[in-house]
């Protein structure tokens, strides 16, 4: 589903996050456990959150690739939670326009 930004609201544009939600993306939360570079026996937790598309999670995969290539703390585990915030039954056209002064 492709959704185009239209002139809506005071800013004149719809937010990219909202458009992604309409296209089926949902809020993804990942708990990343990694080893401390200077203390390998110690695990540290990092929480990452972004809109992403399940089940392939391209945004999360890009972030984890960045982590492995650029950061010192080796990954130990990644636990993922995902929820679509807008579901098809929550959006319906009402066929009317309401204007308030």
DSSP letter (8 states) at residue 10: T
Q: What is the pLDDT of residues 59-86, one digit of tens each?
A: 999 999 999 999 999 999 999 999 988 7
Name the residue among 91, 6, 77, 15 with its Cα closest to residue 51: 15
What confidence category does residue 8 fall into, taking pLDDT thresholds of 50, 70 and 90? low
44 pLDDT higher than 70: yes
Mean pLDDT, all residues of the chain: 84
Query: What's this model's pTM, rounded to 2 decimal places?
Result: 0.71
101 pLDDT higher than 80: no
CA distance 28 to 84: 9
Question: For residues 11, 83, 23 and 67, what is the CA-based torsion angle, rounded to 10 degrees?
Answer: 80
CA distance 98 to 1: 27
């Amino acid at each position: 589903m492709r959704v185009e930004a239209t002139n809506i609201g005071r800013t004149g544009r719809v937010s990219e996050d909202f458009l992604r939600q309409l296209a089926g993306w949902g809020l993804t939360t990942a708990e990343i456990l990694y080893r401390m570079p200077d203390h390998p026996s110690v695990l540290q937790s990092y929480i990452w959150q972004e809109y992403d598309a399940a089940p392939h999670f391209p945004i999360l995969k890009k972030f984890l690739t960045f982590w492995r290539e650029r950061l010192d703390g080796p990954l130990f585990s990644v636990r993922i939670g995902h929820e679509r915030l807008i579901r098809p039954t929550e959006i319906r056209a009402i066929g009317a326009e309401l204007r308030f002064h």
